Amino acid sequence: MKVNSMTKRQDFSSHRRWVIKIGSALLTNDGTALNTDGIARWAEQVVALRQQGLEIVLVSSGAVAEGMTRLGWKKRPSAIHELQAAAAVGQMGLIQTYESCFKKYQLHTAQILLTHDDLSSRQRYLNARSTLRTLLDMGVIPVVNENDTVATDEIRFGDNDTLAALVANLVEADGLVILTDQDGLFDKDPRQHADANIIHEADVSDLSLDAMAKGGPGTLGRGGMTTKLRAARTAARSGASTLIASGRADNILVRLYQGELLGTLFAAEQLPLTARKQWLAGHLQTRGKLVLDAGAVRVIKEQGKSLLAVGVKAVEGQFKRGEVVLCLDERGNEIARGLVNYHVDEVKRIKGKGSDQIEAILGYEDEAELIHRDNLVLV
């Protein structure tokens, strides 16, 4: 039975925990200055949602863009130290503005700065989750941003859409709202085609969406519609539906809560992954690659079994026991990722061999599986 769009909108409105991401172009008036009036309006709407019983986590872009404005820079720098400096300057104004806006409603805010290192370590991941949940229990509004002042390419999320989706997984949110300067996802680029039509609802797994989402990012942010689609797919792993809508629309958050047909809804149709597998799926830092034969690909994808050494044809990278590796088919497509049970040098020696041969080859056997199915997630 097909569920109509309005029913799905109502389902989204019934969610009790939202992660709301606001993009750089909105927060900085397209780079001219910090959009204090806009932040005040969004804060007012967040308060209205809280009065309806929702828990809210904000993911805020804008630190680099605000720093650029304060420093008088017209063009986003490419040098990492200049980006870090701009972020350090911009965080001051950004957080001061959030704090003052919510203080009018007797609400506290908390600044949470994350890098991918913080979510790559299982212990730090759990610590971050505990902190965010505690803040929500205390009625505080967490404001999350990437820690651009220390982030390097190796530990960068890449864009705050990705960060928002990972935060949605982290706090087990029901809904992810991405506010942008576009009305939603269109079937073609509305900036180039006058006859472009908005997609009000879509299956997040539909691969035809990728062609619709193609297009460059803005000058201030690092994301584009492609990153937002990828974020929706990431959020779906924890059962969170995603709404992409224009942050410039009047009273947008309240109207979305009321179920109005605005933006693009990606309903989460799949069952949520376990918390551990959500963490694995969102793990951007991987240490190596295992190329699998067709038989191993089939049993992993169709039967949900563990990966055995016998199914590995080639090994790439440098990794230790317990680190995350990618599992590729013979054409180079990623099919899964997981925590490997052996060091790279050991894997090279036992690849293509049966589990009953591991002890004879290595002199010991830590595990019969190369990656146990509990530590393996399809992507």
Give the chain's mean pLDDT. Answer: 86
Pick the CATH number of 286-378 from 1.10.10.10, 3.40.50.300, 1.10.260.40, 2.30.130.10: 2.30.130.10
How many CA atoms within 13 Å lie on the side-chain side of 223?
28
371: DSSP letter: B
- CA distances in angstroms from 146 to 178, 192, 196, 283, 339, listed in the order given: 16, 32, 33, 15, 25
3-class SS at 149? Answer: coil
Q: What is the mean pLDDT of residues 217-243?
A: 75
Residue pair 293/311 in contact by the 8 Å Cβ criterion: yes
- Tell me how far apart the alpha carbons of residues 69 and 32 are, in angstroms, rounded to a whole number: 7
Local confidence band at 218 (pLDDT 50, 70, 90 cut-offs): very low
Local confidence band at 147 (pLDDT 50, 70, 90 cut-offs): confident
Q: Which helix (H) or strand (E) holds 326?
A: strand 324-328
155/65: higher pLDDT: 65
> 74 burial class (0-12, 13-18, 19+ CB within 10 angstroms)?
exposed
Residue pair 218/182 in contact by the 8 Å Cβ criterion: no
What does the pLDDT read at residue 81?
86
Place of tokens 């067709």: 294
- CA distances in angstroms from 145 to 28, 133, 339, 351, listed in the order given: 15, 16, 28, 41
Quick check: do 5-278 and 286-378 share a fold?
no
What is the architecture, at CATH level 2, of domain 5-278? 3-Layer(aba) Sandwich (3.40)
φ/ψ (deg, to 5) at 180:
-135, -175
Q: What is the mean pLDDT of residues 96-103?
A: 96
Parse the chain into domains and list their residue ranges: 5-278, 286-378
Pick the range with the lowest mean pLDDT from 25-34, 74-83, 160-169, 193-202: 25-34
Q: What is the pLDDT of residues 329-377, one digit of tens each?
A: 999 999 999 889 999 999 999 999 999 999 999 998 878 999 998 889 8
What does the pLDDT read at residue 1?
31
- Percent of the chain clearing pLDDT 70 (strictly above): 90
Q: What is the pLDDT of residues 278-300, one digit of tens each?
A: 777 776 678 899 999 999 999 99
What does the pLDDT read at residue 2?
40
Which of 87, 55, 54 shows the shortest CA–CA distance to 71? Answer: 87
Residue pair 28/69 in contact by the 8 Å Cβ criterion: yes
What does the pLDDT read at residue 219?
36
